[in-house]
Amino acid sequence: MASVVCSLDGDGMVQIARKTVTESVGKGCQDTSAAVVQLGAAASAAAGVPEVPRLEDLLQQLRDVFEREKAQGITLGSQQHQQQPESFKRMNDGVQGLLRAYAASNSLDWQKYALFNDLHYVRNLVEANDDFELIVLCWKTGQVSRVHNHADSHCWLAVLGGEMREVQYQQAPAPPAVHGAAVPEDAAYVEATHSTEMRVGDCGYINDFLALHTVGCYGPEAERCRSEGGAGPYVPQGGVTLHLYAPPIKRVKIYDNDTVTERIPGFYSKGGVRV
């Protein structure tokens, strides 16, 4: 019988599951006065230059998306299958449109939250409220998450810098027992079903009814700059992604070494400050 283990990983995630699974991966901007910002915006508008979205504007627009659904009597919770299809379509279209536009805008104010770690990818919290949490994840080249679910939350992600890969998985039946050996009760098997290369401006969505997944920054191609026609900033460390979870995720299941464990997600930084 496995013992309950509670420990803190380097990326701030607390393991509370049946088995111990070793984790191997897993400001520059000075504020400008309001007068200068308004003057710059007016000059840009007069010159016909489109205004670059700001992260604080994105946050307000995302709040508005969720408030509009609640104003129509829609209950937003972790039970995705209970949300009306038309409500989900409105919400999904709104969130994906906003994240895609921000990611493709070349706005760089997300760099305040772009903290990296040499050992594993890290989660940097931008904002959390009752409806959602917005997180900047930073990946050095070669860092990959383990296969995980999303605790019945909606998950949107957009690429802000570098190149990423998402691999989706489905749970699989247990393989034939070796020499009559019994399959452990806590065994869990998964198989890869789909892989997507993602570049700056790309946006995706996943939930537990669709698949499990991993996200990672793979190989030298993740450090290519715009010289080949790609949009977005060069990220020499690897890649940066923007994730929105609705509602905020309290626990996740990790599938690794043919076992499943539960973890409490943590943060490497909050509001751009290391925790």
Known binding-site residues for Fe cation equal 148, 150, 213
Alpha-carbon radius of gyration of the chain: 20
Strands 122-128 and 14-15: unpaired
DSSP annotation string for 144-164: BPPEE--TT-EEEEEEEES-E
> Side-chain half-sphere of 46: how many Cα atoms within 13 Å?
6
> Side-chain half-sphere of 109: how many Cα atoms within 13 Å?
15
Going by the annotation, the residues of the binding site are 148, 150, 213
Three-state DSSP class for residue 215: strand
122: CB partners within 8 A, 6+ apart: 11, 12, 115, 116, 137, 138, 268, 269
Q: Which residues pair with 15 in a beta bridge?
A: 7, 263
**262, 108 Cβ separation under 8 angstroms:** no
